[in-house]
Amino acid sequence: MNVDDVIRERIAAARARTERRRRQRAALQRARAYGLAARKRAKLRRDGGDAA
C-alpha cells in the first residue's frame, strides 16, 4: 500500500462522512418541518382558526 492508496482511502472516507451528514441534515429538516406544521395545526384548532 503506497501513499496514493492511503490518500485515496482518506478521500473516500471523507466523502462518505459528508454524504452521511447531508442525509442526516435532510432527515432532521423533514422532521422539523413536520413538527412545525403539526404545531401550526394544533394552534389553529385551539384558537378556532384565528391564528396569524
**Tens of each residue's pLDDT in the chain, 52 residues:** 899 999 999 999 999 999 999 999 999 999 999 999 999 999 999 998 665 5
The reply to whether the predicted model has a pTM over 0.75 is no
Identity of residue 48: G
The C-alpha angle with vertex 34 and arms to 28 and 39, in degrees rounded to 5, equals 125
Question: 15 lies in which domain range?
Answer: 1-52
| pLDDT the model gives residue 49 | 66
What total of structural domains would you count in the chain? 1
| pLDDT the model gives residue 52 | 53
| pLDDT the model gives residue 34 | 96
From residue 14, give the alpha-carbon distance in Å to each of 2, 10, 27.
19, 6, 20
